[in-house]
Amino acid sequence: MTTEIEAAAELERLAGLIAHHNARYHGEDAPEISDADYDALVRRNAVLEAQFPQLVRADSPSRSVGAAPGGHLTKVAHARPMLSLDNAFADEDVGEFVERIRRFLKLGEDVAVALTAEPKIDGLSCSLRYENRVLVQAATRGDGQVGEDVTANVMTIADREIPKTLPPNAPALFEVRGEIYMDRGDFEALNRQQEASGGKIFANPRNAAAGSLRQKDPAVTAARPLRFFPHGWGETSDLPADSQTGVIAAIIGWGFQDTGLFVTVDSVAATIAHYRRIEAERADLPFDIDGVVYKVDRLDWQARLGFVAKAPRWAIAHKFPAERAQTTLERIDIQVGRTGKLTPVARLKPVTVGGVVVANATLHNADEIERLGVRPGDRVVIQRAGDVIPQIVENLTRDAAREPWNFPHRCPECDSEAVREEGEVDIRCTGGLICPAQRVERLRHFVSRNAMDIEGLGGTSVESFFGDGLIHSPADIYALDADRLLGREGWAEISSTKLIEAIDRSRTQPLDRFLFALGIRHVGQVTARDLARRYVSLDALRARIEEAIARRTTLIPAVGETEEKFALRVAKEMAAIIETPGVGPEVADALINFFAEPHNIAVIEALRANGVAPADVIHKTRASRVSGKTVVFTGSLEAFSRDEAKAQAEALGAKVAGSVSAKTDLVVAGPGAGSKLKKAQDLGIETMDEAGWLAIVADAG
């Protein structure tokens, strides 16, 4: 049974891991794991949060949508958030979804719950804003609140896919939302063209569509065969109907494409039947789909049902099972990542899975190899879900007489010892910065889009510069000049000058990007942002961490205290000193270990000496009567979720606590509030209901 301490540590790990994979999928169009693996992480996070609601983190994946936009495109705020959907994986989940709707709306069993059902297109979410019936803005989903402005690129897409004007019967203001995608035939033709011209080969239609839409040059987008299916709407001055079916029919009538697979059903059985129909036709469809989306048809019911943290209560995505095939495992290679992690990769006899040729599959770690018992020569089952990195799910020749494959105990790149830390599943090279693989990967990470974002210095250039001795550490990048680049293959005067300009622009990236770029273990984009907001400047953060380092040297085990319990106590005290939302013992330990290493401090000082000065990050809040105060939410909140309440409080400059004490300033109590409300009343602390809290939020503007 999972303990509270174990749950807290796992939730911390899951928050960082899911944020990383969100960034790879939504922000970089370069997913590292399958949809099935990603969904498993999200489900595990949800299970732990349900078991331990007091441990729900500020950076919980259950509160986030997509990934923050990054790169060269202008950011644009959505008038209404573009949320994601909760998932169903079995027929029973769909039945429970309908029952939840009945319970929430207090509907009798004799009242039919009409649902719409439509294919879930595997594309890039996009919102099209029409003002006075003219298309004025197009934006990607981004993190749900802020997306990327792709208006110029969308304007190049054919009118039969995206009309540039709406007919006179359309509302004056209307945001059409849907998926930009590329059909399979066009995708295959594009890859043939790319191969012939020496261009990038796309892994699947979704990546091709996303990469084509987010081009700097709209002329590139114009040359790509992009399409659009509508599935909903955002801000609008009026609605043309009072049902999901009616509004979608109106949108199709304005000139948008119809999948031909949108239906309205009035029972769970009919819903599942349509799911089976689409599943059976999936392979023959001209576009990729990964499930079927169900939505409550009545818009007044949708309004009553509302939303949870990142998804509507009135919609759900019923995902398809992964696609599988059999092939032969020819060999196992080891790749070394920027953190020293040794990742085994299966090299396979190429096989087609779901229309894509697969030659490689992840084996994750040594434990997975042992579990599967795989060796070169084995016949294996490959699973590919979501058109991303496949995985081996079964070894069909496990009992065959064959020598076992042993995981290496030395790094294949630098021959340093490879070890597994206590409590970890991964085996890591101990070579650190002397390991070429880690150095190159750390440099690649440092210059990447979500880190220092040095445009023009991609992975190939980093590897080339490193191999030729131009750069060995991040600081060397800021010592480059155009003269040193001129004459190198592919580096003319214009490209050299542009790179130096990009390097100069990156010297003042915000503190959160700088922290993420350093590659500190467990410090992803979300944690880096939280640290930057908490401490504002690098000097302030370092001062606090140095305080923690000094304190750590004074701590000794208590009598009878085990080594494990002592380590946990120390880590918890370090987290208390750093005192940042989202930074628990594991992250605090990683931060302190990083800043305690002289060679890491030397890297930071060398960067500063070369003119790198991270910009301060100030977290803006709205002035309110709860600014600077401590608020506790208790009871069964009905007007908003607990996560939403916490976000509102933090935006108003308040601190949210989980328990009532003499330091509490305000308790907001929903129905069923018990001991916390009583304690607040006994202590004379101000209390109010949800309506009172919403009035505070409204007054703050």
Decide the pairing of beta strands 686-688 and 666-669. parallel
Nearest to 121 by CA among 349, 386, 343, 488: 386
Distances (CA, A) of 628 to 399, 643, 649, 663: 65, 19, 10, 12
Q: Which residues contact 377 (CB under 8 A, 6 or more apart)?
A: 328, 329, 330, 397, 400, 402
Q: Which residues contact 314 (CB under 8 A, 6 or more apart)?
A: 101, 295, 296, 301, 302, 305
Do residues 677 and 632 lie in contact, with contact meaning Cβ atoms separated by under 8 Å? no
What is the residue type of 128?
L
Question: What is the C-alpha separation between 102 and 632, in angstroms, rounded?
Answer: 31
**Beta bridge partner(s), residue 129:** 137, 175
Looking up tokens 């999936």 gives 282
Do residues 366 and 344 lie in contact, with contact meaning Cβ atoms separated by under 8 Å? yes
Q: Would the CA dihedral through 694, 695, 699, 701 be positive or negative?
A: positive
> Nearest 10 degrees: CA dihedral of 450, 451, 456, 462?
-120
- Map 354-405 to HEC letters: CCEEEEEEECCCHHHHHHHCCCCCCEEEEEECCCCCCEEEEECCCCCCCCCC
Decide the pairing of beta strands 342-353 and 134-140. unpaired
What DSSP line would sit under 658-677, residue for residue? SS--TT--EEEE-TT--HHH
**Beta bridge partner(s), residue 264:** 116
Question: What would the two tokens of residue 282 be?
Answer: 């999936």
Question: What is the C-alpha separation between 104 and 85, in angstroms, rounded?
Answer: 18
Question: What is the C-alpha separation between 636 and 53, in angstroms, rounded?
Answer: 13
The residues carrying an active-site annotation are 120
Question: What would the two tokens of residue 606 be?
Answer: 């060398």
Do residues 11 and 48 lie in contact, with contact meaning Cβ atoms separated by under 8 Å? yes
Question: What is the C-alpha separation between 444 and 462, in angstroms, rounded?
Answer: 6
Task: Report how far Cα 65 is from the mean position of its chain's Cα atoms.
Answer: 7
Residue 351: HSE in the Cβ half-sphere, 13 Å Cα cutoff: 23
What is the phi/psi pair of residue 200, to 5°? -70, 135
What DSSP line would sit under 526-557, residue for residue? HHHHHHHHHH-SHHHHHHHHHHHHHHHTT--P
What is the residue type of 642?
R
Question: What is the C-alpha separation between 12 and 118, in angstroms, rounded?
Answer: 35
What is the phi/psi pair of residue 266, to 5°? -125, 15
What is the residue type of 461?
S
Decide the pairing of beta strands 289-296 and 315-319. antiparallel
Q: Which residues contact 40 (CB under 8 A, 6 or more apart)?
A: none
